[in-house]
Structure 1
Amino acid sequence: MQIVRTIVWVLILFGLLVFSFFNWDPVEVTLWDNFVLETKVPMLVLVAFLLGLLPMWLYHRAAKWNLTRRITSLENAVRSNALSSRHSPPPSAGSAETPPSTDPLSPDGN
C-alpha cells in the first residue's frame, strides 16, 4: 500500500512540474483595494492546493488521535476486567444449587 501512495504523490508532483513549466507567467492577485500581489501561476496553484489540503489533514489527524484514545481506553478496560476476573475466587459448587421450594402451590407438591 505504501508503494501506491508513493506512486500517486510522484504523479501529482510530476503533473505540477509539467503544469509549472508550461504556465510560468506572472499574474496579479488583488487581495485588498491597494494590496496587489504579483506571483507566478504555479505558486498560486500550490498555495490553493495547500489551503484545501490543510483543513482535511488536520481533521484526519484529530479523528485518528480521538480513535487511538478510545481504542487505548477500551484495551485498558478489557485488560483490567480480565485481571479482576482472574483474581476473584471461583463460585463454589454448593451455591449454584437452588433450595427446595416451600410454596404449597408448586407443581411437585412439596
Structure 2
Amino acid sequence: MAFLRTLFWIVITVIVVVFSIRNWSAVTISLFGDLQADVKLPVLLLIMFLIGFVPTYAWHRAFRWRHARKLAMVDRVATPTVTTVVPATVPVTPPAQVPPQPAYLQDAPSPSPVTPDPFKAD
C-alpha cells in the first residue's frame, strides 16, 4: 500500500512540474488603485490553493482534536474503577484440641463406601 501512495505522489509531482514549466509566464494582477503586480502563473495558483486549503485544514484538525478530547473524557467516565476492599482483620481462634485416637483405631483401614447388595431385592 505504501508503494501505491508513493506512486500517487510521484505522479502528482510530475503533473505539477510539467504544468509549471509549460505555463511559466507572467500574469498581471490589478491590486487596489493603480497598483499592479506581475506574478508567475504557477506561483499565483499555489498561493490561491493555500488560501483555500489552510483554513479548511485548520478547521479539520481542530474538529478532530475536539472530538478526541470528548472521546477521552467519555472513556475516563465510562471506565469502571476497580476498588479493592480490604477486609477487616478478624481475630483467629486456635482450633479446638482433638483428643488423640486410641491405638487400635490408628492402624484401622478407612471405611469403604457403602455399595448396594446386588442380590437383595428392593
TM-score (norm 1): 0.65
Q: Secondary structure at the match of 1:34?
A: coil
**Number of residue pairs matched by the alignment:** 85
Give the CA deviation at 1:41: 0.6
Specify every segment of 5 or more residues in structure 1 that has no aligned partner in the other structure, as ranges: 90-110
Structure (1 or 2) with the greater helix fraction = 1
CA distance 1:73–1:6, shift in 2 (3 Å): farther
Q: Secondary structure at the match of 2:37?
A: strand
Q: Which residue of 1 aligns with 2:74?
A: 74
Q: Matched residues in 1 for 2:57 and 2:28: separation?
A: 29
Specify every segment of 5 or more residues in structure 2 that has no aligned partner in the other structure, as ranges: 86-122
Q: Which residue of 1 aligns with 2:60?
A: 60
Q: How does 1:1-110 map to 2 (within 5 A)?
A: 4-79=4-79, 82-83=80-81, 86-87=82-83
CA-based RMSD: 2.1
Structure 1 segments of 4+ aligned residues over 6 angstroms from their partners:
none
Q: Which residue of 2 aligns with 1:97?
A: none
Identical positions, percent: 29
Structure of larger gyration radius: 2
